[in-house]
């Protein structure tokens, strides 16, 4: 069970994390095409959240006006129906907090939401790029769509000084590293956001 102490530690951790991720985004800016209104990354996913992150997100939900909350509830009703109709184990869906292509809980969003857009390492240490590369967005200027890898040849052709680099921004690492251990911040269980949220609302 998450308590106030956990939330306070998480707030401290977020200050560190936002700074670190900000540095990565700045470094990788020649390959990043995120802009306001671009929301594909919030339209199809599982959104793994730890218990601490989800508890913090719910603090943000409590600040929302009634109209916005009703829209989120409507989104959840649709997601619930889609999930029931879906036979696949891996259920991908639009985030219920995405309203008019904007995050309604932006300041309270999860860690995965903060790191999304950067190239990252898979569990077996391969460099992966965000799915929006297929829409001509992040890293598409250096991506080889045949080999599905960042192409050093394409990179050389861009003339950009900064190399396209992956960082260790997987949610498992970002919730379990030297800083979280120093803070004694235990994030708790991790599961898809839908599974946390469905138990919080009466639909
Ligand atoms: S990560 Fe991709 S889809 Fe998401 S805001 Fe950035 S460019 Fe758009
Ligand atoms: S919480 Fe916000 S940023 Fe995160 S997936 Fe949902 S809409 Fe996107």
| Nearest one of 159, 57, 65 to 108, comparing CA atoms | 57
Ligand nearest to the CA of 103: 2
Q: How far apart are CA 53 and CA 77, in angstroms?
A: 22
Distance between CA atoms of 55 and 3, rounded to whole angstroms? 9
How would residue 9 be classed by pLDDT, with cut points 50, 70 and 90?
A: very high
Cβ pair 154, 143 in contact under 8 A: yes
Q: Is the beta carbon of 164 within 6 A of some atom in ligand 1?
A: no
pLDDT at position 122 is 87
Please check whether residue 139 is in contact with residue 75, taking contact to mean a CB–CB distance below 8 angstroms.
Answer: no
Q: For residues 64 and 75, what is the distance between their CA atoms, to the nearest angstrom?
A: 15
The residue to mutate among 37, 110, 171, having the most atoms of ligand 2 within 8 angstroms of its beta carbon, is 110
Whether the CB-CB separation of 41 and 115 falls below 8 Å is answered with: no
Query: What proportion of the chain, given as a percentage, has pLDDT over 90?
Result: 90
- Within a 13 Å sphere around the CA of 87, how many CA atoms are in the beta-carbon half? 0
Predicted pLDDT of residue 184? 98
Dig out the tokens for 46 from the structure: 């599982």
Model confidence pLDDT, tens digit, residues 96-146: 999 999 999 999 999 999 999 999 998 888 999 999 999 999 999 999 999
| CA of residue 191 relative to chain centroid, distance | 13
Whole-Å CA distances, 58 to 5, 62, 117: 16, 6, 24
Q: Is the pLDDT of residue 83 over 80?
A: yes
CA pair distance 21, 114, nearest whole angstrom: 8
User: Does ligand 1 have an atom closer than 6 angstroms to the CB of 117?
Assistant: yes
The dihedral through the CA atoms of 65, 71, 77, 79 has a sign that is negative
Distance 46 CA to ligand 2 centre (A): 11
38 within ligand 1 shell (Cβ under 6 A): yes
Nearest ligand atom owner, CA of 113: 2
Q: Is the CB–ligand 2 distance for residue 42 below 6 Å?
A: yes
In a 13 Å sphere around the CA of 67, the CA atoms on its Cβ side amount to: 1
Q: Which bound ligand lies closest to the C-alpha atom of 58? A: 2
Please check the confidence at residue 87 and state whether its pLDDT lies above 80: no
Looking up tokens 């594909």 gives 40
Residue 88 above 70 pLDDT?
Answer: no
Q: Tell me the pLDDT tens digit for each residue of 32-82.
A: 999 999 999 999 999 999 999 999 999 999 999 999 999 999 999 999 999
Please tell me the residue having the least CA distance from ligand 2 atom 3.
113
**From the alpha carbon of 40, which atom of ligand 1 is closest?**
3
Residue 157 tokens, joined:
């052709």
């Amino acid at each position: 069970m998450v308590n106030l102490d956990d939330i306070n530690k998480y707030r401290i951790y977020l200050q560190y994390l936002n700074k670190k991720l900000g540095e990565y985004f700045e470094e990788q800016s020649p390959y990043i095409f995120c802009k306001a209104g671009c929301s594909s990354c919030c339209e199809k996913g599982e959104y793994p959240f730890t218990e601490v992150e989800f508890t913090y997100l719910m603090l943000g939900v409590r600040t929302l006006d009634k109209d916005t909350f009703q829209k989120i509830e409507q989104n959840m009703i649709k997601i619930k129906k889609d999930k029931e109709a879906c036979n696949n184990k891996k259920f991908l869906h639009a985030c219920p907090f995405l309203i008019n292509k904007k995050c309604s809980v932006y300041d309270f969003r999860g860690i995965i939401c903060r790191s999304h857009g950067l190239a990252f390492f898979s569990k077996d240490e391969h460099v992966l790029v965000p799915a929006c590369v297929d829409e001509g967005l992040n890293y598409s200027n250096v991506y080889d769509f045949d080999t599905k890898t960042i192409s050093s040849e394409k990179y050389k052709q861009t003339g950009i000084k900064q190399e396209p680099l992956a960082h260790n921004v997987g949610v498992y690492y970002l919730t379990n590293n030297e800083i979280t251990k120093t803070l004694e911040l235990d994030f708790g269980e991790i599961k898809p956001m839908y599974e946390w949220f469905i138990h919080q609302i009466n639909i």
